[in-house]
Amino acid sequence: MAKEHYYFSRISDLNLKLISNRVSDGRIYNLPFVSEVSTLIVSDVDNPSKRNIVLEKQSGQLKRINELHTSNLAYQYPHLFPYGEDGYRHDVCFSARCSRQYKRNWVIIKDWMCFCLQGKKNEPQTLLRSTRNNQTQLRVDKYNNLNSKNDPGESQGSNKDIYTTEFQKRGLPHAHIFLFLHPSSKYPSPKDIDQIITVEIPNIAENQLLHELVKSHMLHGPYGAANIKSPCLTNGKCSKYFPNKFQQNTIFDLYGYLVYRRRDNGNTIDKNSVSLDNRHVVPYNRNLLLKYQAHINMEWCNHSTSIKYLFKYIHKGYDRVTTTIVPTNNETTNEAQHVDEIKQYVDCSYMSPCEACWRMFSFSIHGRSPVVERLFFHLENEKPVIYNDSEAINDVLSKPI
């Protein structure tokens, strides 16, 4: 029916276009780097509008499929329900027995979706692209204190940290973790910092594994003439201020910022036929890089300006995109003259598949230890009063303050 309706109506092909020439915040409105199926929500993620589906019957009348309809998920997620099987029902018991004594008697849609994403028992866990294999990858390896020889000092008190998980449009998620140190470790000497943070290429003869990990994860480049499509380029220059200058010893500059040791020791790494030296190394910790074998950027912050920037960066909000609908053919042709292009741009929240799975399984997105709660206060005789609309005004005024 859809094919015949499309043919006889002579509808021109339309594309959903992501706007790239934006002047807003590039950290939030940047374009995706990978081709993946994502969700665009016209509103905020935490307060979305109803996403109902409207179908056209054979009689020509329209029918709206509610979110709680058993066929809604098959239309909404055809990749998860390719055979049009029935989806969530609101009357599924949460346990074998439903009673008023239990707080939860019915399964909510989030629990049901988590159940659908779980792997099958008879499916090998090591099978690539299998459901169980993908499920094992959705794990959180979180640490609060670093307990090793090259640790950045003793934590101030017990588990003083702030973290947030971020989902960008370039692949897997990553986390920003702040560790607040004990006063005795807040102002170490440059020699102590060199034991914690390194910005140099290790000698391949001394530690070949660490050398390969730095090559794979901790080098910034190539960029510029060697890679004109590098995302860090702004007006032909690196927005991250690479390459850095060689520095014989770790020092604090005139403004109190830390300048790491980057010695000109001749160690280089060839990456994409470009030779990179210590000026292109991102600050890292040896033990963390060897343990997790991933990009872990470690910085030592001791200036109020840098701390303010970091807190502002991790609370920048959800990723978003600006979209519009345009015809696929050339707009200058006669055929395109009959198509009314939607000129209005739509500001949407962008949710990647990683973020969708993360939220379905209720993994923590941000946290603070210890938890800080806001204490409310009020002026004398101005305490808030809670009342129902049906209460009489005299009864409301007579409530104790």
Q: Rounded distance, CA 273 to CA 258, Å? A: 32
The CA distances from residue 304 to 104, 257, 310, 311, in Å, are 47, 10, 10, 11
The overall longest dimension of the chain from CA atoms, in Å, is 86
401 has a pLDDT exceeding 80: no
Mean local confidence (pLDDT), 27-34: 79
Within 13 Å, how many C-alpha atoms sit on residue 12's CB side? 18
- Position 169 scores a pLDDT of 81
Residue from 240, 248, 318, 228 nearest 282 by CA? 240
pLDDT in tens, 308-332: 767 777 777 778 888 887 777 654 4
Alpha helices by DSSP H, listed for 264-365, are: 286-292, 304-314, 353-360
Out of 231-240, 254-263, 300-309, least confident range: 300-309
First to last CA, the chain: 67
pLDDT in tens, 58-94: 787 888 888 778 888 888 777 677 788 887 887 788 7
Which residue type, as a one-letter code, is found at position 208?
Answer: Q
Contacts of 237 (CB under 8 A, 6+ apart): none
- Position 125 scores a pLDDT of 47
SS3 sequence, 113-143? HHHHHCCCCCCCCCCCCCHHHHHHHCCCCCC
- Position 353 scores a pLDDT of 83
Q: How confident is the model at residue 143 (pLDDT cuts 50, 70, 90)?
A: very low
Q: 24 or 299: which carries more pLDDT confidence? A: 299
DSSP state of 249: S
Q: Rounded distance, CA 78 to CA 74, Å? A: 5
179 has a pLDDT exceeding 50: yes
The percent of residues above 70 in pLDDT, for the chain, comes to 74
